[in-house]
Amino acid sequence: MSKLVAEHVFKVFGRRPKEGVRRLKAGADRDQLRAEGTTAAVIDASFEVQQGEIFVVMGLSGSGKSTLLRTLNGLAQPTSGRVLFDGRDVSSLAPKDLRELRSHRISMVFQHFALFPHRTVLDNAGYGLEVQGVPRREREEKAAEALELVGLAGWERSWPDELSGGMQQRVGLARALATDADLLLMDESFSALDPLIRRDMQDQLLTLQQRLRKTIVFITHDLNEAMRLGDRIAVMRDGVIVQIGTAQDILVDPASDYVASFVQDVDRSRVLTAASIMQEPRVTVRPGDAPGSAMRALRTDDASAAFVVAPGRRLVGTVTQEKVTEALDEDGGTVKELMVRDLMDPHCVTTHADTPLAELLTPASRTRQPLAVVDDEGRLTGVIARDTLLAALGDQPATVVGVPAAPATGAGTPAGGPVKEALDA
């Protein structure tokens, strides 16, 4: 079950909001409603957020992000549609249950986090718990834990005005974390921070999230922030969610010209990962293969080299056609009692599926083979030929993107196949 579901949520401000929704459903747009004195802040928003996901809502100022966020915790009632939290319709909750939801299960972190100037950092961090009626000792314990989580251990007894802006924002985050809420709603939480501190906070949130696995809805108008943080991103325009997808989806397959123009300046090489361009490993051989059968495999695919894969798809090396040839006599028989494991080079250049393309250039330049993509257990999951990488980075000549050209003199002379492609790149 999804943690949070928005079903056809509309939020219309003005004298006759319901009538506004009716007009929107009949095809009117935001501008028409505005001419009639009604503001359509959110138009037919539907999405599901999974437990543990960071769901980013991104859009320009006035696109309806904050209004949408406020419907998620019942601060604003949808004019039409509903919001389900853990399967329960938020708008049908009794006031008491709604208060309980907002103080215990859902926390909000705003852009300008208002700390109480006459309370210590510890008391500020424990404020949400105080609202919950948690006794002082337990409150201070949890607040101190939360402060430690956000890197503020040692600052418990300080006063807010002794803290930098970034640190104050961390106290805000600590306050949200201390309550044990499982849904965090973050509205431009880092937007008021200096760029470096902001990046720092983004990193910290991602690190925290690996440990805490909260469900987070994060609002930003900054595309780079959205791409860094979001497991998925909803792009809003004039009240409408125009696309929902991963950063890669949105970059590779923008749903409209609007989204395309929005993302045109994004540095693709930092968003797209190895997974987006890797291909099935074509030629693989086993350590125990005889040179003859390795040669057949290489020839079938016209490859100059193959990855050597042990049982369980574990990558153990590469073997070149040149090496295999040395182990064969003229009639194709084996010269000595050699197997692939005796002929292979155990040093493969590998990478991981989630490595950004920008970070593949250096490893790609260190090998004439395609890059091997392996998982945490060292299993071969894909290969990336060098020219595939270069094409993905925009068809730029190798020198421009900083890859030393591959050595012209290569082992073997076969044509075709991913290995050959890499050698030719």
Ligand X SMILES: Nc1ncnc2c1ncn2[C@@H]1O[C@H](COP(=O)(O)OP(=O)(O)OP(=O)(O)O)[C@@H](O)[C@H]1O
Where does this chain bind ligand X (CB under 6 A)? 13, 39, 41, 59, 61-67, 221
Cβ proximity to Mg ion: between 234 and 360 the closer is: 234
Q: What is the DSSP letter of 36?
A: T
Q: Among 121, 229, 111, which residue's Cα sits nearest to residue 167? A: 121
What are the residues facing 383 on neighbouring strands? 279, 372
How far is 385 from 222, CA to CA, in rounded Å?
33
- Compute the least distance from the CB of residue 131 to ligand X, in Å: 24
Strand order in the sheet with 305-310: 284-285, 305-310, 314-320
Q: Are 231 and 205 in contact (CB under 8 A)?
A: no
- Compute the least distance from the CB of residue 187 to ligand X, in Å: 7
- Compute the least distance from the CB of residue 268 to Mg ion, in Å: 28
- Compute the least distance from the CB of residue 271 to ligand X, in Å: 22
Count of C-beta atoms within a 10 Å radius of residue 24: 23
Binding residues with Mg ion: total (CB under 5 A) = 1
Phi, psi (degrees; rounded to nearest 5) at 44 = 55, 55
Instruction: Please list the alpha-helical segments (H only) found in 231-379.
Output: 247-252, 257-263, 268-271, 274-277, 291-300, 321-326, 340-343, 361-365
Binding mask 39-78 for Mg ion (x = CB under 5 A): ---------------------------x------------
Cβ proximity to ligand X: between 43 and 143 the closer is: 43
C-alpha dist (Å) from residue 319 to 222, 281, 329, 360, 398: 47, 14, 18, 22, 26
> Does 107 help bind Mg ion (rule: CB under 5 A)?
no
Cβ proximity to ligand X: between 45 and 295 the closer is: 45
Cβ proximity to ligand X: between 192 and 349 the closer is: 192
Q: Are 304 and 298 in contact (CB under 8 A)?
A: yes
* Partner whose footprint covers residue 320, from Mg ion, ligand X, none (CB < 5 to 8 Å by kind): none
- Compute the least distance from the CB of residue 105 to ligand X, in Å: 23
* Partner whose footprint covers residue 220, from Mg ion, ligand X, none (CB < 5 to 8 Å by kind): none
* Partner whose footprint covers residue 61, from ligand X, Mg ion, none (CB < 5 to 8 Å by kind): ligand X
Cβ proximity to Mg ion: between 66 and 388 the closer is: 66
- Compute the least distance from the CB of residue 24 to Mg ion, in Å: 21
- Compute the least distance from the CB of residue 244 to ligand X, in Å: 16
* Partner whose footprint covers residue 264, from ligand X, Mg ion, none (CB < 5 to 8 Å by kind): none
Cβ proximity to ligand X: between 39 and 248 the closer is: 39
Q: Are 221 and 59 in contact (CB under 8 A)?
A: yes
* Partner whose footprint covers residue 420, from Mg ion, ligand X, none (CB < 5 to 8 Å by kind): none
Q: Among 366, 385, 383, 365, which residue's Cα sits nearest to residue 374? A: 383
* Partner whose footprint covers residue 32, from Mg ion, ligand X, none (CB < 5 to 8 Å by kind): none
What are the residues facing 241 on neighbouring strands? 236
Place of tokens 């730029």: 396
* Partner whose footprint covers residue 221, from Mg ion, ligand X, none (CB < 5 to 8 Å by kind): ligand X
Contacts for 55 with CB less than 8 Å, ≥ 6 apart: 4, 47, 49, 215, 216, 217, 218, 230, 231, 232, 233, 234
Query: Which positions from 329 through 358 interact with Mg ion, judged by CB under 5 A?
Result: none
- Compute the least distance from the CB of residue 33 to ligand X, in Å: 11
Helix, strand, or coil (residue 298): helix
Cβ proximity to ligand X: between 61 and 409 the closer is: 61
Cβ proximity to ligand X: between 111 and 246 the closer is: 111
> Which residues here bind Mg ion, judged by CB under 5 A?
66
